[in-house]
Amino acid sequence: MPRIKESPNGGNHAIIIDKFENGLVYIRDPWPIEGINKGKGVEATIKLEDFEVAWSRTGKYAFWFKK
């Protein structure tokens, strides 16, 4: 499970990548935007290039594709 950022309290935070398809990344974030125990997580579809930019900002982890 990829980690994309640190949580507000300094701990790790993870996202779930469901698939890469046609230049899009399908992700789920189990952490609600409103905070823990305040709603449901988030599902999103973003362009691969936008994901790459966001991921590179973490400065910690690499990703690659298996064909």
| Confidence band of 1 (pLDDT split at 50, 70, 90) | very low
- Give the residue extent of every domain in the chain: 3-56
What is this structure's pTM?
0.64
Q: If you average pLDDT over every residue of the chain, what do you get?
A: 76
pLDDT of residue 31: 78
Distance CA 11, CA 60 (A): 14
Q: pLDDT by residue (tens digit) across 5-26?
A: 555 566 666 788 899 899 999 9
Residue for token digits 């590179």?
56
Q: pLDDT by residue (tens digit) across 34-65?
A: 777 777 888 999 999 998 888 777 666 666 66
